[in-house]
Amino acid sequence: MLILSIASVSFVFLIGIGLYWRAAPLFEEQTLLSLFSASEWAPSKGQFGFYPFIMGTLWVTLIAIVVALPLCLLTAIYLTEYAKPGVRSVILPLVNILAGIPPVIYGVWGIFFVVPIVREYIAPQFTDYSSGYTVFTGGVVLAVMIFPILVSIVSEVLRTIPKELKDASLSLGATKWETIKKVVLKRALSGIVAATVLAVSRAFGETIAVLMVCGNVPIAPTSVFDGGYPLPALIANNFGEMMSIPLYDSALMFAALLLFVIIFLFNLVSRIVLHRVESKYSAS
Amino acid sequence: MTQHPLIRVRDLNVHIGGHHILKHININIPDKSVTSIIGPSGCGKTTLLKTFNRLLDDTAEVRVTGSVLVDEEDIYASGAEVTHIRKKMGLLSQRPYPLPMSIYDNVAYGPRIHGIRKKTDLDDIVEKQLKDTGLWEEVKDRLHTSAAKLSIGQQQRLCLARGLAVEPEIILGDESTSALDPISTHKIEDLFVRLKEQYTIVLVTHILRQARRISDYIVFVYMGEIVEFGPTEELLLNPKEELTKQYVKGFIS
Amino acid sequence: MSIKKRKAEETVFKVLMVGACTVVSSSLFLIVGTIVIKGLPYLTWDMVSKAPQGGFYIGKEGGVLNAIIGSLYLAGGATILGLLVSIPISIYLNIYLKSGSLLNKSAKLAYDVLFGIPSIVYGAFAFSIMIWLGVRASLLGGVIAVTLLIIPILVRTLDEVITTVPKELKHAALSLGATRWEAAKVILRQIKPGIYTAILLAFGRGIGDVASVLFTAGFSDNIPKYLDEPAATLPLAIFFQLGSPIPEVQGRAYASALILTVIILAIVVASHFLAAKQTKHKI
């Protein structure tokens, strides 16, 4: 059992090293900087610019968080502070079911529900033409996918806040909302940060659902109604043919390595942040 | 006991989840004095205290009937403004719960809520309340550090200062010294005695000696009912009711 | 601010909250509703009882039984393999190790990271191992990739369940002279329903994931008989059929999506039932 545990810890490094090893041939050709900044993607000519894909990933993730975070915060606050226990015990499990729905189902839903709405109703307000397959669409689908993470963790965090602390604020004449805004949310900040980081890392790596709705155009998006091409989609779409072109597999492994490193750093940073925030306000 | 009653409770009943927690409570709590509510644990004394500033409102399945008049205003009347009622009362809970912010912001929290924005005004309030609670000398150099860094005793005095900063008329203490060491307890008790010049103080306690040390009046609650109410010495030394006698002697606890 | 304004602010936010809550909780119905409306007209008995026949992909006879069975094999195999690895690990981390030790801390961080790693990365990693070992895309490859994916889920869920076991129980077992292994057995018995929940969670994840099996499991119209044969999976079948220009084939994608949704919802209901049972028997 000791060996298994140690093996599982070293497995993290094994994945990192394995991916690096496979991606290494690419570094002999190009510097890291040029890989990040170049926007030309032409595998047959040996050009591998990751800029459009990195931007695609960032846009989709950012949109997902911007859409999901306010909705989920409000929902979690409502469920824990205002809603009757009966309402809460119905809605929380419902939201949690979303976590079990497979990505491909989200993709199908995105194609038949979100894409037409974006194409017919939302995009025309801002731009001349949009196919509906945009980074915005991808972001919305992703937002729904991260609802359960955000709602369940934030509700859990809000529930742990002592009633006496809220009473202290209420008895000073604050309204319930003022208490939530100034005391509860402040106290819950570390938990909210943790939930957001988890949600972001989920959004970062989501592949199929996003691939199905965001257009897969290898150009860095300039508006939310442009198509985009996130890193995971790049890997998924091209893995089959990579063997025939030199360095192609290294480039795709590099994309996987990039995702891995980002997730790793996110977890590390969030741990440190959480630790800091907690030690600052926890009761002595 | 000719003092003017500030809080008047008329036929108050509280049900929580089908249990009759408080039964037909009638009492007048005198102004500018310390009144202790005593009784065995689970008798409803904390619930009674919480009805005074409507902190039961958020408890699930709670039903309150009857009336509580503060300054002749029924706080359970349908038009009563709950934030206004609560502003009149400072609450000191069992354990100190400093808000997750600095010492300064803790005291300034209430005044800010009620619309005081000017820095100099807030500075004055913070300084005055911290001086009144004897904290000023201990914390004046670190007003902007987290309140959680203070000792428990200091935190409790900070909570008192925070409550006083909204200029209440009444201070409600819910076993406010039960988490404190003897020295901190002593400090809080002294404060109560000093503060009764300006405030009406209602304390819940299960320590008879504490009730005796600091209160002018005692209410003895048993099984959700008021058994006896009277001036401290009279009730402790010469109780009228058999139940009170037994409790004072330590037969019921 | 006057009390009126303060109250108004609260009312505004309350309205926003109810709105947000409605949006969030209705999204499940939107998704399931869309799938049902799209899929139901195409759902036939053939879909679930037959493997693809000749000309299936241009709209002729057949069903997706190959993919259903493939998915069940894959998720089932991965869950069993995953349990064999994750139960000892979570027992070891929680019962043998002191909670502050370096290995414990780094293991918790490692599992957070592993939990967060996208399934496409697991797929890519498993694929490179397969190339290295000379294994072609097959049921075995898929099982390995999915196992990697669900081990962190299992470990984390088991970890949570074990921490709900009262410490006293462990101490009581140990103080009666039980060895750590015997104490572990006591705890295992205590968390049995929790293990079932973890299994369902992992199985659900395994059956629904595409990215990890995209390159590792291959795709086949036959129901796999051996581990080294390529196997179709339901999500992948949906994905491929959806890309077809032929309406019948697309329709089958919707019907397959409906089948997958029904399987997932059945798992959810089952785990909910188990969770309810678990709380009932808790000491």
What's the CA gap between A61 and A115, in Å, rounded? 17
Minimal Cα–Cα distance from A33 to chain C, Å? 22
pLDDT of residue A281: 52
Q: What percentage of chain A reaches a pLDDT higher than 70?
A: 95
Instruction: Calculate mean pLDDT across residues A135-162.
Output: 93
Asked if the Cβ–Cβ distance from C239 to A75 is below 8 Å, we say no
Residue A194 has pLDDT above 70, yes or no: yes
Minimal Cα–Cα distance from B60 to chain C, Å? 19
Q: Taking a contact as any Cβ pair under 8 Å apart, which residues of chain C between 41 and 80 contact chain A?
A: none
Give B111-118 contacts, CB < 8 A, sequence gap 24+.
Answer: B111/B165, B111/B166, B113/A172, B113/A173, B113/A174, B113/A178, B113/B166, B114/A173, B114/B87, B114/B166, B115/C1, B115/C2
**3-state secondary structure (DSSP) of residue C218:** coil
Model confidence at B10, in pLDDT bands (50, 70, 90)? very high
Highest average pLDDT, of C94-108, C157-171, C254-268, comes from C254-268
Q: Does C265 touch chain A (CB under 8 A)?
A: yes
Instruction: Calculate mean pLDDT across residues C251-257.
Output: 92
Model confidence at B35, in pLDDT bands (50, 70, 90)? very high
Is residue A244 domain-resident?
A: yes
Residue C282 has pLDDT above 70, yes or no: no
Q: List, for residues A3-45, the tens digit of each pLDDT value.
A: 777 877 788 888 888 888 888 888 887 888 888 888 888 888 8
Q: Are residues C38 and C123 in the same domain?
A: no
Q: List, for residues A258-274, the tens digit of each pLDDT value.
A: 999 988 888 877 777 76
In this structure, chain A runs to a length of 284
Q: C-chain residues within 8 Å CB-CB of B58?
A: none
Q: Does A184 touch chain C (CB under 8 A)?
A: no
Residue C204 has pLDDT above 80, yes or no: yes
Is residue A13 domain-resident?
A: no
Q: Are residues C8 and C131 in the same domain?
A: no
What chain C residue is nearest to B84 in terms of C-alpha separation? C3
Q: Are residues C228 and C246 in the same domain?
A: yes
Domain count along chain C? 2
Model confidence at C99, in pLDDT bands (50, 70, 90)? low
Q: Are residues C16 and C142 in the same domain?
A: no
What's the CA gap between A148 and A155, in Å, rounded? 10
The span from the first CA to the last CA of chain A, in angstroms, equals 37
What's the CA gap between B209 and B38, in Å, rounded? 11
Is residue A184 domain-resident?
A: yes
Q: Are residues C205 and C165 in the same domain?
A: yes
Q: List, for residues A35-46, the tens digit of each pLDDT value.
A: 888 888 888 888
**Average pLDDT in chain B:** 91
Minimal Cα–Cα distance from C54 to chain A, Å? 24
**Average pLDDT in chain C:** 85
Q: Are residues C104 and C239 in the same domain?
A: yes
Is residue A262 domain-resident?
A: no
Would you state the torsion angle of the CA atoms of residues C115, C117, C120, C122, taken in this order, to the nearest 10 degrees?
-70
Q: What is the enclosing helix (H) or strand (E) of B89?
A: strand B89-92
Model confidence at B1, in pLDDT bands (50, 70, 90)? very low
Instruction: Return the closest-CA partner of residue C111 out of A190, A92, A10.
Output: A10
Is residue A164 domain-resident?
A: yes
Residue A250 has pLDDT above 60, yes or no: yes
Q: List, for residues B51-87, the tens digit of each pLDDT value.
A: 998 988 878 788 999 999 998 889 998 888 889 889 9
Nearest CB to C88 within list A4, A207, A267: A4
Percent of residues in chain C assigned helix, strand, coil, to nearest 5: 75, 0, 25
Q: A-chain residues within 8 Å CB-CB of C116?
A: 198, 201-202, 205, 263, 266-267
Which amino acid type is present at position A215? G
Q: List, for residues B153-204, the tens digit of each pLDDT value.
A: 999 999 999 999 999 999 999 999 988 999 999 999 999 999 999 999 999 9
What chain A residue is nearest to B161 in terms of C-alpha separation? A172
Q: Does C150 touch chain A (CB under 8 A)?
A: no
pLDDT of residue A283: 42
Question: Could you tell me the domains of chain B?
Answer: 5-88+168-249 (3.40.50.300), 98-163 (no CATH)
Tokens of B53: 């500033």
Minimal Cα–Cα distance from B237 to chain A, Å? 35
Q: Does A16 touch chain C (CB under 8 A)?
A: no
pLDDT of residue C189: 83
Residue B137 has pLDDT above 70, yes or no: yes
Q: C-chain residues within 8 Å CB-CB of A239?
A: 124, 127, 214-215
Q: What is the ipTM of this complex?
A: 0.89
Helices (H), B114-223: 119-132, 136-139, 152-164, 182-195, 208-214
Instruction: Calculate mean pLDDT across residues A71-98.
Output: 93
Q: Does C257 touch chain A (CB under 8 A)?
A: yes
Domain count along chain A? 1
Residue C195 has pLDDT above 60, yes or no: yes
Structural domain span for residue C32: 3-42
Q: B-chain residues within 8 Å CB-CB of A179?
A: none
CB A255 within 8 A of CB A235: yes
CB A35 within 8 A of CB A28: no
What's the CA gap between B81 and B68, in Å, rounded? 14
C136 vs A229, residue with greater confidence: A229
CATH of the domain at C222: 1.10.3720.10
What's the CA gap between B67 and B44, in Å, rounded? 17
Tokens of B86: 């609560």
Residue C4 has pLDDT above 90, yes or no: no
Q: Are residues C124 and C163 in the same domain?
A: yes
pLDDT of residue C283: 44
Rounded to 5°, the CA angle C83-C89-C92 comes to: 135
Is residue A11 domain-resident?
A: no
Q: Are residues C16 and C52 in the same domain?
A: no
Q: C-chain residues within 8 Å CB-CB of B83?
A: 3, 6
Residue in this structure with the two tokens 């203070």, named with its chain if needed: B150
pLDDT of residue C278: 63
Highest average pLDDT, of A217-221, B3-7, B227-231, comes from B227-231
Sheet with B19-30: strands ordered across: B19-30, B5-16, B62-70, B73-74
Q: A-chain residues within 8 Å CB-CB of C71?
A: none
**3-state secondary structure (DSSP) of residue A240:** coil
Asked if the Cβ–Cβ distance from A284 to B150 is below 8 Å, we say yes
pLDDT of residue A284: 34
- Neighbouring-strand partners of residue B28: B8
Instruction: Calculate mean pLDDT across residues C78-104.
Output: 83
Structural domain span for residue A138: 53-253+267-281
